[in-house]
Amino acid sequence: MATVTSSTSSADCLRSGSDSSSDEVLLEVQDLTVEFHTDDGIVHAVSNMSWDINEGETLAILGESGSGKSVSVQAVMGLLPTPPAVIAGGSIRYRGTELVGASSDTLRSIRGSEVAMIFQDPLSALNPVYRVGWQIAETFRIGKRMSRKEANGRAIELMGRVGIPNPEQRARQYPHQFSGGMRQRAMIAMALALEPKVLIADEPTTALDVTVQAQIMDLLSKIQSENRMGLILITHDLGVVASVADRVVVMYAGRAVESGPADDFYAKPAHPYSQGLLSSVPKISGPTGKLNSIEGTPPSVIELPSGCAFHPRCPHSVDRCHSQAPELTAITDRTGHSACFLTEELL
Amino acid sequence: MLRYFFRRVVQLIPVFFITTFLIFLVVRIIPGDPIQAQFGERRIPENLRAAYIERYHFNEPLWKQYFLYMRDVLSFDLGDSVASQRPINDIFREAIPRSATLAGLSVFFVALFSIPMGIFSARHKNSKADNSFLVITLIMLAIPPFVLGLLAQLFFGLRWNLFPISGVGEGLYSYILPALVISTSLMAIESRLMRTTLLDTFREDYLRTARAKGLTEGRVFRIHALRNALIPIVTVLGIDFGALLGGTIVTESVFNIPGIGFQITRAIVQRDTTIITGISIFLVMAYLLINLLVDMIYAWLDPRIRYD
């Protein structure tokens, strides 16, 4: 299914290999550009970003906070506050239906039932004044027009399935009576209620204890394979997704700088930024000493550096990087893509 | 919930005794002779003075006076007015329903105005309508109630003949104009409060969750935003009711409504110590009980309080 086009678009670049070509492309984001028009100027939150996701596949979108990873998926769900957010260009297609500029009814029919989402902080993401069971049941009642009683039964069943003990009793409790991990399980139950084809998890483990993080990741990946969903994991924590991601996209200052199969990325990152990111992950084995870090700070998204946005922090930058922005281009001899003039030299 | 209720009730007991003792003390230590005050410049016959002292226990130490007084209060006997000799219970039976009607109607008007107005302003944030409404609320706050009362009487009463301007002869209808005067400044404050809390609620993550579930904007607003934004305003409305019960002295005078405020003004002028103490203690009790009720409503609306 991968058709190579000559445009600067990189949607095709991210398509998985031939082994999964029988799987349907669910979401396809192409050249997405999102801006925030604020009093301080235009924030270029996402620029020309492209990715897609297939049935039964896990895509990890990696990057530091402020790199635009959350914005790019909230745009998919139509959850960005407009104004100030403006989708300035590109397209988002869900199984062929264009979502950019779609009516609010179209977007609503996709939300929850086709594409569902869970968020970073499950305490603030749950309504404090309603019982957890009620909030899950609401999805059934509105999405499937179920009766109160039937919806409630389904909510309890679902809470049990995501590993909440005593679901019947837990359903009658309020979010603040749940632990962090249990809240995230409740969020997952809510997201799964309408059996969506795509689940977007925006930093799902960031607010949780390390031990709970692994449990939630296991649960997500178990559900993903059972339901053959497309799972999009957004995180700044490279360790969390290493074992579950099929493909990764690395974002820097609103742009995708590298993309490709997760195995290749973790074994041999191509872009200097990816290399920096991976070398700054602390390792349990190996020599002890000073932890690597990337020099400098992420750029202001209002005034991006000229040329390659990463050049002021890049240890390899050459003159060309200061004036010219590299496109995402295929890496020779492997399936990935990198937006760097020096990719071939550095690998 | 029940445990929370009992804890709050137990907390009320010391508050009740401390505040009533302070009131009792303040009324007793006002300089001047409360008995002489009833007779103006005239000399009081010795036997009459002795009868007064006997009756109000003026010869006992202060703590004992307080103890004897509280014994009566707790058996719902507030004694007689020093000035008119009428039982204070009778005076209360007339005055309290009037003040409660006035306070209740005022709070009703405040809610009727502030909630929709706050919602409108929040949904049209920084629009022309929102900005002009801010100016209007500032004007509403700036006009003192007695000026507003006189203006209302002049226009709505005398000029246009829409509402009665004095007394309570026409039942609930007589209370409309004074209630509007009382509620004006509260409407201004509370519509701003409603606007602010709603705008804060709009930023909450759980609204994003509600949208992500595929709910309509209408349902996201009504079920998820409004329910949370109403919690502070309901609480404030309850506290307003408690404060208005005794705090409408000016308006009750302007509109000649013989309620609690009216009675306390008269009692202060006449140095009618038993009425002053009685009304003050009634107001403390009413305020404490209304606050208890407000806390219960608050806990009912917000489960985070209930289950702490």
The pLDDT tens digits for B108-151 are: 999 999 999 999 999 998 899 999 999 999 999 999 888 888 89
Q: How many residues does chain A have?
A: 347
Q: Is the pLDDT of residue A11 over 60?
A: no
- Residues in A closer than 8 angstroms to B223, CB to CB, are 138
What pLDDT shows up at residue A97?
A: 87
Residue A118's SS3 state is strand
CA separation for the pair A7, A12 (Å, rounded): 10
Residue A197 pLDDT more than 70?
Answer: yes
What are the DSSP calls for B132-187, one per residue? HHHHHHHHHHHS-HHHHHHHHIIIIIIIT--S--SSSTTTHHHHHHHHHHHHHHHH
**Which residue shows structure tokens 């309290």?**
B96
**Per-position b or e across A28-40, b if 16+ CB within 10 A of its CB:** bbbbbbbbbeeee
Residue A221 in any domain: the answer is no
pLDDT at residue A237 in the model: 82
Please tell me the total count of domains within chain A: 1
- Contact assignment for A125 to B301 by CB distance below 8 Å: no
3-state class (DSSP) for residue A272: helix
Which residues 224-263 of B are in CB contact (within 8 Å) with A? 224, 227-228, 231
B219 to chain A: nearest residue by CA?
A142
Contact yes or no for A119 and B209 at CB 8 A:
yes
ipTM of the complex: 0.82
Contacts of A23 (CB under 8 A, 6+ apart): A54, A55, A56, A57
State the burial class of residue B74 (Cβ atoms within 10 Å of its Cβ: 0-12, 13-18, 19+). Answer: exposed
Give me chain A's average pLDDT, please. 83
- Is the CB of B214 less than 8 angstroms away from the CB of A126? no
For residue A178, being part of any structural domain is answered with no
Binning pLDDT at 50, 70 and 90, where does residue B247 land? Answer: low
Secondary structure in 3-state letters for A171-185: CCCCHHHCCHHHHHH
Nearest to A127 among B214, B217, B224 (CB): B224
CB contact at 8 A, B256 and B167 = yes
**What pLDDT sits at residue A14?**
47
What is the number of residues in chain B?
308
Contact state of A77 with B212 under an 8 Å Cβ cutoff = yes
Assigned domain for A69 exists: yes
Q: Does A16 have pLDDT greater than 70? A: no
CB contacts < 8 A (A, B)? 76
| pLDDT, tens digit (0-9, with 9 covering 90-100), for B26-62 | 887 877 777 777 777 777 788 888 887 877 777 888 8
Residues A157, A133: contact at Cβ < 8 Å?
A: no
pTM comes to 0.80
- Looking up residue A276, the CATH number of its domain turns out to be 3.40.50.300
Which pLDDT value is given to residue B53?
A: 81
Contact B272, B83 (CB under 8 A): yes
**Inter-helix orientation angle A180-192/A148-161, to 10°:** 120
Set out the domains of chain B in order of their start, with CATH numbers.
97-306 (1.10.3720.10)
Task: Flag the least confident range among A123-132, B28-37, B222-231, B284-293.
Answer: B28-37
Range(s) of the domain holding residue A85 = 12-114+199-206+235-281+297-346
Residues ≥6 apart with Cβ < 8 Å to B302: A128, A129, B231
Q: Is residue A174 one of the residues assigned to a domain?
A: no
Chain A CB contacts of B307 below 8 Å: 174, 176-177
DSSP conformational letter for A104: H
Q: How close, in Å, is residue A195 to chain B by CA atoms?
A: 12
The alpha-carbon gap from A232 to the nearest alpha carbon of chain B, in Å, equals: 15
- Choose among A253, A255, A249: nearest CA to A47: A255
Beta carbons of B292 and B241 less than 8 angstroms apart: no
pLDDT of residue A8 exceeding 50:
no
Does the residue A321 lie in any domain? Answer: yes
Per-residue pLDDT tens over the stretch B56-72: 777 888 888 888 888 88
Q: Do B214 and A142 touch (CB under 8 A)?
A: yes
Quote the percentage of chain B above a pLDDT of 70: 98
Mean pLDDT of A287-315: 77
How far is it, in rounded angstroms, from Cα B50 to Cα B136? 60
A146 vs B: CB within 8 A: no
pLDDT in tens, A79-104: 888 778 888 888 899 988 888 888 88
Q: How far is CA B21 from CA A258, A329, B88, in A?
A: 76, 84, 19
